[in-house]
Amino acid sequence: MPALAAVLLSCASFVGAAESTAKTTLVIKGMTCGGCVAAVKVQLKKTQGVTAYEVSLEKGEAEVTYDPSRTDPKKIAESVSKTGFEATVKGEKKAEAPMSDDTMRRLDMAELREWFNRSSDSVRVVSLLSPT
pLDDT at 3 over 70: no
> Between 120 and 13, whose confidence is greater?
120
Residue 27's closest CA among 60, 72, 56, 71?
Answer: 60
Domains and CATH numbers, the chain: 18-89 (3.30.70.100)
pLDDT number for residue 128: 73
Q: What is the mean pLDDT of the chain?
A: 79
Average pLDDT over residues 119-125: 72
Q: What is the pTM of this model?
A: 0.58
Are the CB atoms for 76 and 47 separated by under 8 Å?
Answer: yes
Count of C-beta atoms within a 10 Å radius of residue 53: 19
**How many CA atoms lie within 13 Å of 102's alpha carbon, on the beta-carbon side?**
0
pLDDT tens track for 62-86: 999 999 999 999 999 999 999 889 9
